[in-house]
Amino acid sequence: MNHPDKTNVGTPDIENVNVTDFDPMPSPEEIHARVPLSEQAARTVMQGREALRNILDRKDPRLFVVVGPCSIHDPAAGLDYARRLKKLSDELNDTLLLVMRVYFEKPRTTTGWKGFINDPDMDDSFNVAKGMELARAFLRDVAELGLPAGTEALDPISPQYLGDLTAWTAIGARTAESQTHREMSSGLSTPVGFKNGTNGDVGIAINAILSASRPHSFLGINGEGKTAIVRTSGNRYGHLVLRGGDGRPNYDTVSVRMAEQALIKARLPANIVVDCSHANSYKDPDLQPLVMSDVINQIRYGNHSLVGTMIESNLVAGNQPIPQNLALLRYGCSVTDACVDWDTTESMLREAANVLRNVLPTRKQ
């Protein structure tokens, strides 16, 4: 996009050489006005954040579990899942704090569907304004059920649109080393889980936790959508998420102990979450229950650092490619990473609660 003045007609383009358009985007305030935060939703978010902070501070002995679809692509199926999870949460709430995994943005190594916000119609039309509004509406609907939600912060602008509806945030393996995401995390209102690098390097996540705990000043946008200097006070609720790396798991007892020692050496709380998916399950959803079982047994036999787990779960097992005719999509089946089905999810969570019900209270400090 070049706008030469009259004295420079004919000069070659200098900026925006590869940009084709600047499409206007509604401001965060406009999207908030279209999808306002209800009292019930606000109560759910605040209570969820407080419960998570209490778990990380060891005031609440429960284990938190971030569980849900790899990504949201069908809000109707997503709410179907949320209603089932809420019912299970009410049943297991004495032992487990269930947080629904609500991921709208998908990082891509090369190409592929970038998620519900970026392309809600799944046809490369990239109606981001529509996707952002629908994503906010979905988060509101989940919160109004009384179920807290966790999401991955990939785009540093998205939290201005959605941050008041999330209780937990993940920084992924590809972005934990990014200064932009560390700075953003320092201002988030939620506890933040930093995943180890894709090569398995825990040090990347520990450095991110340290960085996010400090104040920062950086460029961002305000509620009006205007560029602003964002100044933060630091987020002291960063914690480590082990997701494996380089095709190898790192949830075993030795890996967890080494992660504990690295956190203690950095003078950070030994708060560790295990992602049962990704490299920890070799991207085979059928192995997620085995990972979960191993984590539960580590807690059962005395581990005090494991405070949470993550599970990729959907109504239907496996995953599916995105067909040209979207009517052919299977209801409740992931279009990104393969997931365990609902029956397996129920079994995993009930088994964890049964094993830990009399164990977790002894961890309270």
At 21-69, the pLDDT tens digits run 999 999 999 999 999 999 999 999 999 999 999 999 999 999 999 999 9
Mean per-residue pLDDT, 103-132: 88
- Report the C-alpha gap between 269 and 364 in whole angstroms: 15
DSSP letter, residue 329: P
* Helix residue ranges, H only, the chain: 28-34, 39-56, 75-92, 128-144, 158-162, 179-187, 202-212, 253-265, 288-300, 342-356
Chain CA centroid to CA 219, Å: 23
Output the 3-class SS for 247-309.
CECCCCHHHHHHHHHHHHHCCCCCCEEEECCHHHHCCCHHHHHHHHHHHHHHHHCCCCCEEEE
CA separation, residue 36 to residues 90, 100, 158, 161, 257 (Å): 26, 20, 16, 11, 44
- Report the C-alpha gap between 2 and 16 in whole angstroms: 7
Among 338, 345, 315, which residue's Cα sits nearest to residue 70?
338
- Report the C-alpha gap between 365 and 357 in whole angstroms: 17
At 281-299, the pLDDT tens digits run 999 999 999 999 999 999 9
- Report the C-alpha gap between 175 and 205 in whole angstroms: 10
CATH number 3.20.20.70 given to 70-363: yes
In the structure encoding, which two tokens stand for residue 128, read together? 């981001």
CA separation, residue 79 to residues 76, 82, 105, 163 (Å): 5, 5, 18, 19
Give the residue carrying structure tokens 């060891």: 58
- Report the C-alpha gap between 322 and 121 in whole angstroms: 11
pLDDT at 188: 98
Mean per-residue pLDDT, 124-140: 97
Confidence of residue 107 (pLDDT cuts 50, 70, 90): confident
pLDDT at 6 over 50: no
pLDDT at 111: 66
pLDDT at 92: 98
pLDDT at 327 over 50: yes
- Report the C-alpha gap between 309 and 295 in whole angstroms: 8
pTM: 0.94
pLDDT at 8 over 70: no
- Report the C-alpha gap between 320 and 43 in whole angstroms: 36
User: Hey, is 125 helix, strand or coil?
Assistant: coil
Phi and psi, residue 327, nearest 5°? -65, -15
pLDDT at 4 over 90: no
pLDDT at 306 over 70: yes
pLDDT at 346 over 90: yes
Q: Where are the domains of the chain?
A: 70-363
